[in-house]
Structure 1
Amino acid sequence: MTANPSDVTASLEWFGLSSYEAQIIVALQKLGLGTAKEIAEVTAVPQSQVYGAAGSLEKRGLIEVERSNPKRYRSIEVEQVLDHLETEYYQHRADVAEGLKMIREQFKDERSESQEHVWTVTGSAAVLSRITTLLNDATDSLIIGLESASPIADDIVNQLHGLDNGTIDITVITTDESISDSVREIATVYQPPLDPELEASSAMSGHVLVVDDTAILVSACTSDSEIAIWSAETEFANVLIDMSKARLETFFPGLT
């Protein structure tokens, strides 16, 4: 098995190294010990640029410099390189998190909260994250339509089991027997009659989630992906919630 130096260089750049710095790190794995001239010969880094890039790497603790004439360079051990990069990554991550939170707090009074916010989320992970947030925000009631064709159905069921079922009235609507059985102890379950045409077209499914009569999420999904729109405490949400509940009433009078 052989490694592609270009791929390794690109990965190092992801950690914030410049192209020249990344190439020098890779070159020193080949050379073990090398001068600026030798490094330039095995990379696309001009010899005149090796000195500056190597100096930057030395400051970051990623290479060592022999004070000879000419100077010679060598990389620290691979595990040490990884430790340095990991430490820098988590430090930058912490700095970004703190900075974003401070900016958000600083400008919270200037943000408009009166606009009609309707959001789109794409991808199963993003949809599950939004559903999880909405479920955790529930204080009174939630109505959710679930089908096993969704790639995140099992995750949603697990989220439902984690809620405080003593204070939240949970209603689950599903045509799936396995989902019915898995939530029957924590929720009121309704199984609507399934349209034969829809049953024949099982490649597409989706979810509807109504939380506290103030927030709604509607999604459509295939076996490997999902997209959803959601809104909370807006006129759009109110209209969509009323439409959804009216539709449910046609199947289950008195449900809502």
Structure 2
Amino acid sequence: MESLRDLGLSSYEDRAYRGLLGLGSGTAADVAAESGVPKGRIYDALGGLESRGLVRVQADREPKRYAPVEPGVAVDRLVEGKRRELERRIETYESGKATLVDRLADAETTADRFWTAAVGADDALELLFERVDAAAASVVVVATEVSSQFEVDREGPVLLDRLLAAIRRGVDVSVLLSPSMFAAARAAVDDERAALTVAQAPFELRVTDDVYGNFYLIDGEEVCLEVSDPLAPDRLFAMLYLRDRGFATRVRDGFDDAWRAAEVVDDL
């Protein structure tokens, strides 16, 4: 910060306060002469300083005399005022957030087709977590293999926490794993968290050998599909994101067949 204007003072208020620091104390006329604030504006400037607690006023004599509070006190009071102002703004934003989301959702359409790709493990996982966080109704997770760039010990618990947060929002979560993927995921999650997860509703976990690849179905309309590096199949090359109801329906139908035949996991 270079001046008190950064903390909300007007130019005249800033100049008047600095003028008072030079004077020690003085009348409005003294402050105007010292600071260069026009006489027609000096009372407004001093009134603004007084309302913020930045000057002390000796009102038992005419004309009134003013003295500045110490610079440390002045800055602390201005910062505190800014903090309260920002808190009020945040409260206003928070209280209006749901209404704004509803209004934007009214204009949203999902009939169009759209796709994109996030290349690289970090960007791919960021895209996946974003879509899981945005889920409103359901999340399907199908995982049969682990990329060498997807460290189950690190990313596994993070994905699990995102899924639990979705469940708390009322999202249905279904997870279908291969036996090897189930073993790797189970080893990465502590017993307490594993038991808590299985006890959550609506969370379901099943194991099967009858699926291939890793994909995620969001709200029955979006598919996140992991793409392996063709020259290094154990490496994650990209995450392909598709918003296409027709394709999502095909994916859902294939998942449902495998899901019905899979082994239910209800005790870890």
TM-score by length of 1: 0.48
Larger radius of gyration: 2
Higher relative contact order (CA 8 A, sep 6+): 2
TM-score by length of 2: 0.47
